[in-house]
Amino acid sequence: MRLDGKVALITGAAGGQGKEEAFLFAKEGAIVVITDIQKELLEKTGEELMRLSPKSSFFHHDVSSEEQWQHIVAQVVEKYGRIDVLVNNAGISPDTRLLDTSMDLWNKVMAINVTGTFLGMKTVVPVMKENGGGSIINISSIAGLTGGSGASAYTASKGAVRMLTKGAAIEYAKDSIRVNSVHPGVIETPMTEELLKNEQVKSMLEATTPIPRFGKPIDVAYGVLYLASDESSFVTGIELPVDGGYVAQ
């Protein structure tokens, strides 16, 4: 019960890593609120979650909308009185090279991956300050730590999440609000499903990961759990790679 009594809000939690985080948090005693833009999948996951943790709830949510953030956070506070943990997990990962990236795609990636994270913190920090503190975990990527080809907009967005995290960590440390980023490597989720169908890419990724396997969503979820719990009460502003040793090379 490492999160006993805490209220946690997790975005992009209808499937993949976010769903794994939500269910792990619920098993560890948290009241979990999940959001996602995928309405049907969200409802299915939300109903599963509420069977495990009846006090939990779910909301349809476009993380790039400030109005929706304000509405959802207000509803969560009205229902539960507080938000102790925020996991900015929602994101998209187009595999598009720089010269093939349209302005529309660039703006969409930035709106979801960067603006969504910014708005989440901007909306939730005042609630955490009022309640005496909290923990924010922003999901970045190893692409936010290392260069690479083939996903310029995604790489730029995850680098921005990394530095946005550090700035917020310093800014709100005196308010007992910890802000950390998690940097997954190649994790077997719906987001990477198409990528891993390419045998050439798959072989290259396997060859460059010291631990000879791809990550599972639960690998990331346990890292997020540590940062959400009081066990990490003296930890803020860090970047936690969950990548099988990829960035250690």
Mean pLDDT lowest among 108-122, 180-194, 195-209:
195-209
Q: What is the pLDDT of residue 197?
A: 67
Cα atoms found within 13 Å of the Cα of residue 84, Cβ hemisphere only: 19
pLDDT (mean) for 70-81: 98
Instruction: Give burial (CB, 10 Å; 0-12/13-18/19+) of 128.
Output: buried
pLDDT (mean) for 122-131: 98
Token pair of 126 as six digits: 């005042």
pLDDT (mean) for 155-183: 98
CA-closest candidate to residue 205, choices 150, 156, 140: 150
pLDDT (mean) for 185-204: 72
pLDDT (mean) for 91-116: 94
- pLDDT confidence band for 94 (50 / 70 / 90): confident
User: What is the arrangement of strands in the sheet containing 134-139, beginning at the earlier edge strand?
Assistant: 57-60, 31-36, 7-10, 85-88, 134-139, 177-184, 239-242
More confident residue, 75 or 205: 75
So which residues are the catalytic ones?
Answer: 154
Q: What is the pLDDT of residue 151?
A: 87
Residues with Cβ within 8 Å of 174's Cβ and at least 6 positions away in sequence, in order, are none
Residues with Cβ within 8 Å of 208's Cβ and at least 6 positions away in sequence, in order, are 246, 249
Residues with Cβ within 8 Å of 16's Cβ and at least 6 positions away in sequence, in order, are 187, 189, 190, 191, 217
In sign, the C-alpha dihedral spanning 185, 189, 195, 196 is positive
Whole-prediction pTM value?
0.94
Domain 7-237, CATH:
3.40.50.720
Q: What is the pLDDT of residue 21?
A: 98
Q: What is the pLDDT of residue 193?
A: 65
